[in-house]
Chains A and B, each alone.
Chain A
């Protein structure tokens, strides 16, 4: 986890942002022939309104990598779109780099680089260079600086030698790199990244995450990362806001959020010949560990016994337990730590599951 110097200067601030959408009901071609149509409409009047943002207040510090974590449909993209001025909130406002999103839209857009979810946000029939050159003109970059900047970004993305190929010949991951390069063209102080690794294979995901991390740490960019991958938020972000049904339900560092569900922390030690009184010893010495279990294995058949410690910072007591076992000449064969995840936090806070996890590894 990156730890940059903390300050209380907020480059992204939202003030009671609220947004609702009205869903039209599609009744089909002959819907007008249905009986009791009017009655039905009145009955379900309220269910047509979807609350996308419910008075959201978020403050993102300068140079912070801030995560917005929530399942699909939680309101992440709506928030990102409001901040980028392509959606107007019903209520409230936000300040980006000191500019109001409702009154100073041009300066807000000039302060932002944005990676929007979806594959077709670039021109597939143009080359990567042409795409970047065109968007540089839309970001009002001086003509003289444009070419060098485009070459620099292609080089950073390791795509210099393929810059003259059309994007239709690129892989999804390569296109995403060009989308990130586009967001960096005008060297904005703030980046809004909406699901930047969605649909990418593990190799590209890792590369993109590493670039995001570098942008925050080395270039001091303020980054708002909207994601439904809990590992991504956990590994990259300084702080995470958990959002569900348009409401921000918690904001804190990943560790602090996970501390809310410490009771789920699990340490499992597989060993042979554990002393029969080990459970009592552990309970006596490590009083904050909530549950200690000793499960006897069929050791003669090669199945070891297992000692389980659950809750109460179980991970911190590993060395103490190991020492106890060694003193009793117990042979330890494996150690597993099941730390609580942001998924556990989400379940605790909302009672619902966050999402399916991304296949493949997630290490940065």
Chain B
């Protein structure tokens, strides 16, 4: 970059080394920023050991009531009514396969949703925003961290539940179920990006997050089959990735599971991925412009 002075003489400005645009070096730099953001969050989490221990224990605390309640009401782990509805009567396996995704709903709504707001609470948001890294990478850093965190937690839960109760799973269904899970996560990331934008504008975004989390919990067939919901709720659940993903994952994972709607689950999830990601990014950039216009960035 050159500049002319008032006498017309050309001066070379200091070259700035910073990859930009859609180049491989820039993509690499953004990916590194995402990774380093993830590492930073791990370090911050581990700086509060008691909170970290709580995070490790709480998934069990939330899961056990689901299972114990089911066992108590049914009087064992086999439910004939459940078998009539979905083909399998094993309540423990059914509930656990649903429960596995709850933590990932939290990834989108709470972790990603509050990634930017958290930096605002720390006081570091403006320092991050003056760097050339995309703001989206900061949210994705949290997404990566939370996904790893939840995956580790889910793996431990899986091992514990498997040892205590035993799970009737089809091993050959794990890979296709993981593929469905990955497609669900992409859509949830889009959703998380959207919530992160909303939490910056609304400030008390936790109310929105709480509301969205509750709606997702009702519309996602975590502890009951989708078919028990009213028709209108079943239709509404189709805009969320968790409902079709759970139906699809159970179809591959649970023995004798005969879901009503499996057909085009991959296409359904792919469509939701595109919609949620594009919509999330669109709102995120609109919000970015809005808060930079109004000066809300520095306001708590």
Contact with A along B1-42 (1 / 0, CB 8 A): 111011100010110111110000010010011011101100
Picked from B33, B126, B127, the residue with its CB within 8 Å of the CB of A182 is B127
Kindly provide the distance from the CB of B124 to the nearest chain A CB, expressed in whole angstroms. Answer: 6
Q: Are B11 and A109 in contact (CB under 8 A)?
A: no
Kindly provide the distance from the CB of B10 to the nearest chain A CB, expressed in whole angstroms. Answer: 9
The stretch of A120-128, A256-264, A330-338 in contact with B is A120-128
Contact with A along B49-66 (1 / 0, CB 8 A): 000000000000000000
Complex Cα–Cα for A97 and B16 (A): 9
- B292 contacts A by Cβ under 8 Å: yes
Q: Are B16 and A111 in contact (CB under 8 A)?
A: yes
- B84 contacts A by Cβ under 8 Å: no
- B289 contacts A by Cβ under 8 Å: yes
Given contacts A86-B297, A88-B293, contact A121 B33 (CB under 8 A): no
Contact residues, A82-128 vs B (CB, 8 A): 84-88, 90, 97-99, 106-107, 109-112, 114, 116, 118-123, 125-126
Size range of the chain A interface in the assembly: 35 or more
The stretch of A131-139, A227-235, A314-322 in contact with B is A131-139
Inside 8 A of B279's CB, which chain A residues have their CB? none
The interface centre, meaning the residue of B7, B124, B294 with most chain A CB atoms within 10 A of its CB, is B124
- Residue in A closest to B44 when the chains form the complex, CB atoms: A125
Kindly provide the distance from the CB of B217 to the nearest chain A CB, expressed in whole angstroms. Answer: 31
- A347 contacts B by Cβ under 8 Å: no
Grouping DSSP codes into helix (H, G, I), strand (E, B) and loop, the A interface class, with mixed when no group exceeds half, is loop
Kindly provide the distance from the CB of B137 to the nearest chain A CB, expressed in whole angstroms. Answer: 8
Q: Are B132 and A109 in contact (CB under 8 A)?
A: yes
- B131 contacts A by Cβ under 8 Å: yes
Q: Are A121 and B3 in contact (CB under 8 A)?
A: no
Contact residues, B99-145 vs A (CB, 8 A): 122-124, 126-133
Q: Are B127 and A140 in contact (CB under 8 A)?
A: no
- A349 contacts B by Cβ under 8 Å: no
The interface centre, meaning the residue of A8, A109, A137 with most chain B CB atoms within 10 A of its CB, is A137
Q: Are A106 and B130 in contact (CB under 8 A)?
A: no
Complex Cα–Cα for A21 and B298 (A): 13
- A156 contacts B by Cβ under 8 Å: no
Picked from A11, A121, A138, the residue with its CB within 8 Å of the CB of B123 is A121
Q: Are A140 and B29 in contact (CB under 8 A)?
A: yes
Q: Are A86 and B16 in contact (CB under 8 A)?
A: no
Inside 8 A of B230's CB, which chain A residues have their CB? none
Q: Are B16 and A62 in contact (CB under 8 A)?
A: no
Given contacts A97-B16, A137-B32, contact A116 B127 (CB under 8 A): yes
Complex Cα–Cα for A243 and B71 (A): 72
Q: Are A87 and B295 in contact (CB under 8 A)?
A: yes
Q: Are A97 and B5 in contact (CB under 8 A)?
A: no
Q: Are B132 and A86 in contact (CB under 8 A)?
A: no
Q: Are A110 and B16 in contact (CB under 8 A)?
A: yes
- Residue in B closest to A166 when the chains form the complex, CB atoms: B47
Kindly provide the distance from the CB of B128 to the nearest chain A CB, expressed in whole angstroms. Answer: 7
Complex Cα–Cα for A8 and B9 (A): 10
Inside 8 A of A137's CB, which chain B residues have their CB? 32-33, 35-36, 133
Kindly provide the distance from the CB of A6 to the nearest chain B CB, expressed in whole angstroms. Answer: 11
Q: Are B18 and A107 in contact (CB under 8 A)?
A: yes
Picked from B13, B26, B128, B297, the residue with its CB within 8 Å of the CB of A138 is B128
The interface centre, meaning the residue of B6, B7, B14, B292 with most chain A CB atoms within 10 A of its CB, is B14
- A188 contacts B by Cβ under 8 Å: yes
Q: Are B14 and A140 in contact (CB under 8 A)?
A: no
Complex Cα–Cα for A42 and B209 (A): 36
Complex Cα–Cα for A7 and B48 (A): 53
- Residue in B closest to A126 when the chains form the complex, CB atoms: B43
Kindly provide the distance from the CB of B22 to the nearest chain A CB, expressed in whole angstroms. Answer: 12
Q: Are B126 and A130 in contact (CB under 8 A)?
A: no
Contact residues, B273-300 vs A (CB, 8 A): 289, 292-295, 297
- A9 contacts B by Cβ under 8 Å: yes
Q: Are B126 and A116 in contact (CB under 8 A)?
A: yes
Q: Are A189 and B16 in contact (CB under 8 A)?
A: yes
Given contacts A107-B16, A186-B18, contact A143 B32 (CB under 8 A): yes
Picked from A120, A133, A143, A188, the residue with its CB within 8 Å of the CB of B16 is A188
Complex Cα–Cα for A137 and B126 (A): 16
Contact residues, A12-48 vs B (CB, 8 A): 21
Q: Are B124 and A121 in contact (CB under 8 A)?
A: yes
Complex Cα–Cα for A99 and B1 (A): 9
Kindly provide the distance from the CB of B52 to the nearest chain A CB, expressed in whole angstroms. Answer: 12
Q: Are B40 and A134 in contact (CB under 8 A)?
A: yes
Q: Are A97 and B20 in contact (CB under 8 A)?
A: no
- A10 contacts B by Cβ under 8 Å: yes
Inside 8 A of A119's CB, which chain B residues have their CB? 123
B contacts, CB < 8 Å to A: 1-3, 5-7, 11, 13-14, 16-20, 26, 29, 32-33, 35-37, 39-40, 43-44, 47-48, 122-124, 126-133, 289, 292-295, 297
- In the A-B complex, the 7 residue pairs with the smallest Cβ-Cβ separation, listed nearest first, are A120-B123, A110-B18, A189-B14, A137-B36, A138-B131, A125-B47, A98-B1
Q: Given A86-B126, A125-B44, output 18 extra A-B contacts at Cβ < 8 Å.
A: A10-B3, A11-B13, A86-B129, A86-B292, A88-B289, A88-B293, A90-B293, A98-B3, A98-B13, A106-B20, A123-B44, A125-B47, A126-B47, A139-B18, A140-B19, A140-B26, A166-B47, A188-B16
